[in-house]
Structure formats: structure tokens, C-alpha cells
Amino acid sequence: MSRLELKEKKITPFKLEDYDVSWEYGFLPIHPPVQSQLPEVFGPLQETVALLPKWLSTGKIRQIIEAMPEVTVNYLSLGERRLRRLMQIYAYLAHAYVWGQQPPAGVLPRNIAVPFHQIAQTLSRPPVLSYASYAMDNWVRIDQTRPVEIGNIRVVQNFLGGLDEDWFILIHIDIEAKAAPALAAIPIILQGIVKADVNAVSIALEQIKQAWLQINAAMGRMGEGCDPYIYYNRVRPFIHGWKNNSALPVGLIYDGVAAYGGDPQQFRGETGAQSGVVPTMDALFNIVHKPDPLRAYLLEMRDYMPPQHRAFVEAVESRSTLREFVKDHMDRTPKLKALYNDCVSLIDQFRTLHLDFAARYIHQQTAKASNDPNVGTGGTPFMGYLKKHRDECRDRLLK
């Protein structure tokens, strides 16, 4: 859509709050669901999931989970915050059941499967552990007067526990928090394009640039607390899904879920590709990726996002003509071109950091039958396509 069409349509103002995005927290919830108080009927589940590292060490996690009650309540009455906490609890219990003993379980018992499916349906997300439950909903702030950042946040829920698992999650939370100013700049840019306000767009691009400097610095800290060997062997196995996974070639049966008719289901595992940050930035800067398996996979990953975040990405895609705007004004305002290119270069640097992370933490680790180093936790080959997407990002630099 051209800027002229945008003006003629008089598109309504683009508001973050319409998409459950905030200027201070970005995609992170203002009130972490992990702190939600649940009805007493969920007490046994909360007690078990809180002790998950201990139960997993006994080798009897399936026996423990099978003995838990099947909770039947009116989930719609609980509200989204409680539902997201329950989604997290059931997701962790489901993945602990499937991957916590060998061989992996091909059937999820109905006492977990049925409520998990009902909650997921209510939230419009698949019944599997996704990034929202694993990272975005999985933190509390230590000092309420200080920002959400490494050193002032802690992880509440985990599988085996320990520094490496916590650090891996904390880095992602830190990145989400540092992305908030970049997301907050988007309405300013979209409005600036409609009004042909070069100064407003320039100021917003500078804000995005500073945010990406912080994001890349956070990403670069991964090695401080998460060792590649520990990640690959003790963190990564639990976040796998059951799609394109040789350990569960036909998927997972959700016992008692009538909607599935007893047929095995295939869902992707948890991955940072389910974050809205990078796809939103691609949409804003009009970074286009040519069709390939990774592009199709990334589009599929939007189904695992909270619905409002998915809508946010799609809204930015449909509205942004930033690259065209910069091209039209860069001769008269060279700073605009420089800021655009700086931002695109920083997104490129993030992709390069991610490539390095994938190489060191996955590709270089010893392959195991159920932990293929050539496949990400989402269940797709990654190295070649990650490089291609990085290079396509570079191609969007304005000459």
C-alpha cells in the first residue's frame, strides 16, 4: 500500500495497546502470569510442577503425572492471566512426561491432555510448550523499582533447573524487554509516513537503533551463563516438539481429546522464532525473504504466538512503507538513509549472532538419535537457511 493510499484511506491510529503490546514491556506481559493465584483445585499440579527438577531426577516422572487429578473447570471464567499460567503448567508437565524418561512417550494421558487442549483452545494456541510460556510468561522482577533486565529478574519455572537453563531463558526475556522501545517507535513511524514528517521518522529510527544496540549486547551475553554442552544435552531435549522429530515420527496422541479422534498430532517445539520481535522488524523495514522452507516455517511459527502479537506483526506488514519513504526523502535528508541502514545492519548483526549461537550450541555438538544437530527445536533444518535470511537482510540496505 502506497503512502497516497494510506492518506486517502485515513487509516486509524496504530495503537500498541490494541495488540497487548506496551511501550515499557513490549511483548512481555505487564503482570507476569507466573505470579497468578490459581483456584485450590490446581494445587496438586502447582506442587508437582514446582518440584519438576526433583521429580525428573527420580526417573519416575510419568508415574507421578499419571497419578494427578484431571481438573474440570470453566476455563473461560478464569481470565487470560490465569489461563496463561495454566498453559505454562500443563505445557511443562506434558513435555516432562514425553521427554523425561526414555523412550519418549507417544501418548499423553488424558488427565493432562484434556485440560491442556481446552486451555490452548481458549487461548487460540496449540497444546505444546511455546515461547510465550517458556520465556515471556516465565519471570518475576526482583526489585520492583528497577527495570526488567538480567540481574533483576529470575526464572520461576524450569525442567532440570540450574544456571544454564535459567540463563538461556533469562537472555530471551532480557531481549524482549530491550525490544520494547523499538516496538514503541512503530506507531510514530507509521504516523510519520502518513504525514510525511521526516523528523518524526528520524527520531523514531534513532530510538530503534539504540534498542537494537541493547538487544545485540544482550544476545552476546549468552555464553556467560549457558554452556553449549549443557544446553544441548540438558536444556534442549525438553523443549523439542513432536513434528518433524524422528523420536516421535507420527507425533503425539492426546488421550481423551475428542477433537483429535485418537489421531496423533504434530506440533513444533519451543523456539525463539515464536517471538514477534524479528518478524515485526522485518515487516517494518520491508525486509523480504524469498520463498524457502525456513520462510514457510517462520510463517507457521506465528500460529504459536499469542493471537494479539500475531495480529501486531500482520498489521505492521500491511501498513509499513518505510523503505519507500526513506528512498523518497534520503537525498534531501541523508541522515534518514543512514539511520535506516544502521537499523537494518543491526538486525543483520542479530542474525549473525544467532547463526553463531546455532553453530556453537547445536551444530557442533555430538548428534544423538533424538537430538539431531541439523534440526532446530522447532523441527526444521536451519543452518543454510539462516545464512540465506541473514544475507537477504543485508540486501535491503539502501545504496
52-90 confidence digits (pLDDT tens): 999 999 999 999 999 999 999 998 899 999 999 999 999
122-172 confidence digits (pLDDT tens): 999 999 999 999 999 999 999 999 999 999 999 999 999 999 999 999 999
352-392 confidence digits (pLDDT tens): 888 888 778 887 775 443 445 455 554 455 555 566 666 67
pLDDT given for residue 2 in this prediction: 47
Contact 14, 190 (CB under 8 A): yes
pLDDT given for residue 366 in this prediction: 53
Q: Report DSSP letters for 186-220, one per residue.
A: HHHHHHHHHHT-HHHHHHHHHHHHHHHHHHHHHHT
Local confidence band at 397 (pLDDT 50, 70, 90 cut-offs): confident
Dihedral sign, CA of 152, 52, 234, 26?
A: negative
**Has this prediction a pTM greater than 0.85?**
yes
Residues constituting the chain: 399
Percent of the chain whose pLDDT exceeds 70: 90
For residues 187-206, give the mean pLDDT: 97
Q: Is the pLDDT of residue 13 over 90?
A: no
CA 253 to chain CA mean position, Å:
25
Q: How far is residue 80's CA from residue 339's CA, in Å, rounded to a whole number?
A: 39
84-120 confidence digits (pLDDT tens): 999 999 999 999 999 999 999 999 999 999 999 999 9
Q: How far is residue 156's CA from residue 153's CA, in Å, rounded to a whole number?
A: 10
pLDDT given for residue 368 in this prediction: 45
Ranges of each domain in the chain: 3-394
- What's the whole-number average pLDDT of the chain? 91
For residues 262-276, give the mean pLDDT: 96
Class of domain 3-394: mainly alpha
Query: Cell numbers of 219, please?
Result: 544476545
Position of cell 535491503? 396
Q: Is the pLDDT of residue 394 over 80?
A: no
128-141 confidence digits (pLDDT tens): 999 999 999 999 99
